Amino acid sequence: MANVLVQLLMMSWLSVAHPFYVSMTDINHNTGTKELEVSVRIFTDDLEATLRKTFGGKMDVLHPQDKNKMNQMITTYIQSHLQLQVDGKPVQLSFVGYEQQEESIWTYMEVKNVASVKKLSLKNNLLHDYNTNQINMMHVKANGKEQSYKLDYPNTDVTFTW
């Protein structure tokens, strides 16, 4: 009995000592507006640490000294670590904004003038430069169908087809 208790305590301690490193990317093709709506959820502390490593200096995403500069850093980071191709053609993510939700930041981006999607290819290496335990989850909706995929470090590429 004591052995079981010790094992449970060790497992609890390890789960606290080794947190999860996960991002969530949601992509929705909106046929009405002909846009890809992209949202990326990253834990706030992981995003700040990554931005600090990438750009240097103190990072406070929730209370930035210069909101425009913070928007630009987040945009630059995400655009360089999340690339999309629609039907074999590269598309550019446009920054819309970000907001805090619980312990994470949701960043919103869009791609305009996407009338249809038959194939969506993604290169997602968000936070790989921060932690090699990173998992990047993707949920994609297009043509009335949903698909999901999980990229474990060091994997970065996935293609969805309809």
> Is residue 7's pLDDT more than 50?
no
Instruction: List, for residues 49-78, the tens digit of each pLDDT value.
Output: 999 999 999 999 999 999 999 999 999 999
> Is residue 154's pLDDT more than 90?
yes
Contact 23, 134 (CB under 8 A): yes
pLDDT computed for residue 20 by the predictor: 79
Percent of all residues in the chain with a pLDDT value above 90, rounded to a whole number: 86
Instruction: List, for residues 95-126, the tens digit of each pLDDT value.
Output: 999 999 989 999 999 999 999 999 999 999 99
Arithmetic mean of pLDDT, 41-51: 96
Tokens describing residue 148: 């999901």
pLDDT computed for residue 93 by the predictor: 98
For the stretch 89-128, what's the b/e string if a residue is b when 16 or more beta carbons lie within 10 angstroms of its beta carbon? eebebebeebeeeeebbbbbbbbeebeebeebbbebbbbb
pLDDT computed for residue 19 by the predictor: 75
pLDDT computed for residue 143 by the predictor: 95
Instruction: List, for residues 10-29, the tens digit of each pLDDT value.
Output: 444 434 443 779 999 999 99
pLDDT computed for residue 111 by the predictor: 98
Tokens describing residue 131: 């932690």
Percent of all residues in the chain with a pLDDT value above 70, rounded to a whole number: 89
